Amino acid sequence: MIFIRNLNKIYNNTNVINNLDLQIEKGDFVFLHGKSGSGKSTLLKILTKEVRGWSGKITVDSQDLNKVATYNIRRKISVIYQSFELLQEKTVYENISLAGHVVGKTNKDIHNRTTLLIEKVGLKGKENLYPKNISGGEQQRVAVARALLNKPEIILADEPTGNLDTENAYHIIRLLKQLNEEGVTVLIVTHDLELVKSFPAKIIIMSEGKVKISENDHLLI
């Protein structure tokens, strides 16, 4: 699904991504772990075309990333952030449904999908609250529902549990795991090793812009 060969990205004469090779298969549930500054966010931003000016080869669903329109990439790949990035002046319902209007779905489709997702992430009854009136864990569940609205194939989560306590962190990862079991490919960036060890997953460890270890179902660290 995502195929990366010999990827390089240079900032200020430094290779922040350094001959990186990586393959993500359809249906994978992957943790991308590595120290701060190891290039994880840069890699995600390259995949969503927020960062350009790299060299190497990247294909998504066998299409050259450089030849896929940004609009199409963002429909295929949805992102969840550490800081939730919700619109503060919009309700839970509006934050989730907004992405449907952007892609021109009918109001009825948007309403049905929003209602379904609100139930799925466990926010029934909180539709009309504003982000400031719900907990951090609930805000991240809004972000997960929003990311799912247009049925992406891939979810990239950049430290999605970084602002959550342990209980809410596990809740979010369990939710992402459930979505994965329903067919969404999930890549989670995290520096939380305890979390990584708690879920069976493919684990990719980045160090100095390279993949150091890539293992299935167990950790060698």
Interhelix angle 92-102/107-120, rounded to 10 degrees, is: 140
Among 20, 24, 33, 41, binds ligand ADP (CB under 6 A): 41
- As a dihedral over the C-alpha atoms of residue 164, residue 31, residue 184, residue 43, rounded to 10 degrees, the angle is 100
Sheet harboring 63-64: ordered strands across? 14-24, 2-11, 55-60, 63-64
36 lies in the binding site for ligand ADP (CB under 6 A): yes
Per-residue DSSP letter, 122: T
Using a 10 angstrom Cβ sphere, with 0-12 exposed, 13-18 middle and 19 or more buried, the burial of residue 182 is exposed
Among 22, 24, 30, 40, binds ligand ADP (CB under 6 A): 40
Q: What are the angstrom distances between the C-alpha of 92 and each of 130, 134, 198?
A: 6, 9, 30
16 lies in the binding site for ligand ADP (CB under 6 A): yes
Number of residues that bind ligand ADP (CB under 6 A): 11
Among 11, 109, 124, 174, binds ligand ADP (CB under 6 A): 11
- Output the six-digit token pair for 88: 């503060």
**Residue placing its CB nearer to ligand ADP in the complex, 117 or 206:** 206
Among 18, 30, 31, 38, binds ligand ADP (CB under 6 A): 38
Among 34, 131, 137, 152, binds ligand ADP (CB under 6 A): 34
- Pick the piece of the chain touching ligand ADP (CB under 6 A) from 34-42, 67-75, 109-117, 212-220: 34-42
**Residue placing its CB nearer to ligand ADP in the complex, 113 or 210:** 210
β-pairing, 154-158 vs 185-190, is parallel
160 lies in the binding site for ligand ADP (CB under 6 A): no
In the complex, the residues that contact ligand ADP under the rule CB under 6 A are: 11-12, 16, 34, 36-42
